[in-house]
């Protein structure tokens, strides 16, 4: 079977533009039809909107179909990239986020936001920092032509590790005592956003290659080519729409939160990319190792912010701001990775 490169077509090259349009569309829909929040809440399972869950499945499934699952087994045996990712995610990233939150909202912006609101904004940023990304990383890894086996393994490990470490890190870093950990919610998210697409993709690939042949499989993947980015765009609209009120009511605060969040994402990516080059990782492993650490699981952060502080709190605003900036910034990082492939050795 031939090796397929994940080439960026016209649609993918301008994905940042489509994302910006969808964010704007989501804000407009949320303001025009405020009952859209009630509509999403009417169709939920374990706190997840069914419509968003379906869109995320369609976003991940085509990627899983094109993933060589033999690479997943091999990736699980590679110590250096796995160890690097875990250290970045749990020993560095939460603390750099907490530091930046303190620096900007206790010192730099304290005269603008005040002490109490600053505390809430700090809390929202910390909730983002202790929730490493899962499903979305599969998209970034795919667009970066990464080792998808490594990406899938790290998504699974991060999801399981988050169940154990999210609560203790929240207690350590937040100015509160007991923080409820939504174990059932996280477990359902792992099943819906990773487990089901992985199983469906595995059996689709297996059946097509064994019973219909390589040409039929290539024809299928060609048809699925635009499903992932289209589902991504729909997901953005679906997530932004219910949060439009809080975003549009606080544009200055959104801008103030954007600054440290952008610094955090690029700083963690830079640390991961630099370390990956120094320890001799291939580009295919270095790119996802850095991207997984840089991105955040904003769905969990938003849910926790609402649970702990309320939907109209500064913490929720900060978590929602993380959602708004995540996709555009991570697409920029994808482009950085693609343009710097020559800095690393390539896997044969």
pLDDT tens, position by position, 120-178:
899 889 989 988 776 678 778 888 888 877 787 777 777 667 767 777 787 778 764 33
- For residue 45, the cross-strand partners are 48
What is the H or E stretch that residue 345 is in? none
pLDDT tens, position by position, 31-60:
888 877 677 667 766 656 677 778 777 877
C-beta of residue 318 within 8 angstroms of C-beta of residue 125: yes
- Map 173-217 to HEC letters: HCCCCCCCCCHHHHHHHHHHHHHHHHHHHHHHHHHHHHHHHHHHH
pLDDT higher than threshold 70 for residue 8? no
CA distance 337 to 235: 24
| Cβ neighbour number for residue 230 with a 10 Å cutoff | 16
Task: Categorise residue 7: left if φ over 0, alpha if ψ from -120 to 50, beta otherwise.
Answer: beta
The pLDDT score that the predictor gives to residue 133 is 75
CA distance 194 to 231: 15
What one-character-per-residue DSSP string does 253-320 give? Answer: HHHHHHHHHHHHHHHHHHHHHHHHHHTT--HHHHHHHHHHHH-B-HHHHHHHHHHHH-TTSHHHHHHH
Q: Which long-range contacts (CB under 8 A, 24 or more apart) does 114-120 make?
A: 117/253, 117/314, 118/314, 119/175, 119/314, 120/309, 120/313, 120/314, 120/315, 120/317, 120/318
C-beta of residue 78 within 8 angstroms of C-beta of residue 289: no
CA distance 168 to 158: 15
CA distances for 147 relative to 5, 282, 340, 347, angstroms: 11, 9, 16, 9
- Which domains are delineated in the chain? 10-343 (1.20.1530.20)
The pLDDT score that the predictor gives to residue 99 is 93
Tokens, residue 138:
């599969």
C-beta of residue 19 within 8 angstroms of C-beta of residue 327: yes
pLDDT higher than threshold 90 for residue 271? yes
User: pLDDT: is 193 or 200 the higher one?
Assistant: 200
The pLDDT score that the predictor gives to residue 176 is 44
The pLDDT score that the predictor gives to residue 101 is 92
Q: Residue 114: which of 125, 106, 102, 123 has the closest Cα? A: 106
- For residue 132, the cross-strand partners are 296
Q: Nearest 5°: phi and psi at 64?
A: -65, -35
The pLDDT score that the predictor gives to residue 125 is 92
Task: Give me the percent of the chain exceeding a pLDDT of 90.
Answer: 18
pLDDT tens, position by position, 70-84:
655 665 667 888 888
| Cβ neighbour number for residue 168 with a 10 Å cutoff | 12
CA distance 9 to 281: 27
Q: Provide the total of helices (H) and of strands (E) in the chain, helices listed first.
A: 20, 2
What is the H or E stretch that residue 45 is in? strand 44-45
CA distance 264 to 250: 22
Torsion of CA 92, 95, 98, 99, to 10 degrees: -90
């Amino acid at each position: 079977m031939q090796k397929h490169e994940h080439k960026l077509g016209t649609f993918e090259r301008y994905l940042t533009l489509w994302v910006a349009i969808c964010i704007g569309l989501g804000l407009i829909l949320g303001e025009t039809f405020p009952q859209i929040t009630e509509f999403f809440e009417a169709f939920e399972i374990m706190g997840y909107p069914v419509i968003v869950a379906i869109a995320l499945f369609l976003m991940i499934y085509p990627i899983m179909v094109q993933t060589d699952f033999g690479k997943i087994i091999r990736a699980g045996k590679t110590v250096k990239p796995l160890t690097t990712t875990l250290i970045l995610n749990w020993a560095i990233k939460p603390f750099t986020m907490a530091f930046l939150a303190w620096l900007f909202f206790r010192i730099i912006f304290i005269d603008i936001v005040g002490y109490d609101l600053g505390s809430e904004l700090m809390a929202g940023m910390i909730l983002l920092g202790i929730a490493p990304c899962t499903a979305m990383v599969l998209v970034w890894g795919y667009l970066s032509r990464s080792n998808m086996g490594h990406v899938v393994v790290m998504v699974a490990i991060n999801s399981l590790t988050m169940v154990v470490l999210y609560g203790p890190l929240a207690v350590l870093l937040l100015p509160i005592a007991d923080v409820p950990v939504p174990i059932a919610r996280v477990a359902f998210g792992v099943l819906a956003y990773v487990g089901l697409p992985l199983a469906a993709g595995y059996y689709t690939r297996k059946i097509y290659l064994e019973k219909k042949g390589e040409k039929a499989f290539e024809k299928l993947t060609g048809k699925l080519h635009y499903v992932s980015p289209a589902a991504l765009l729909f997901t953005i609209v679906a997530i932004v729409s219910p949060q439009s009120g809080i975003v549009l009511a606080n544009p200055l605060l959104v801008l103030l939160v954007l600054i440290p969040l952008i610094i955090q994402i690029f700083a963690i990516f830079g640390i991961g990319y630099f370390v990956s080059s120094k320890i001799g990782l291939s580009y295919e492993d270095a790119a996802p190792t850095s991207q997984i650490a840089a991105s955040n699981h904003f769905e969990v952060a938003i849910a926790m912010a609402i649970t702990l502080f309320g939907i109209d709190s500064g913490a929720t605003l900060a978590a929602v701001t993380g959602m708004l900036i995540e996709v555009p910034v991570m697409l920029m990082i994808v482009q950085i990775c693609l343009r710097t492939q020559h800095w690393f050795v390539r896997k044969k």
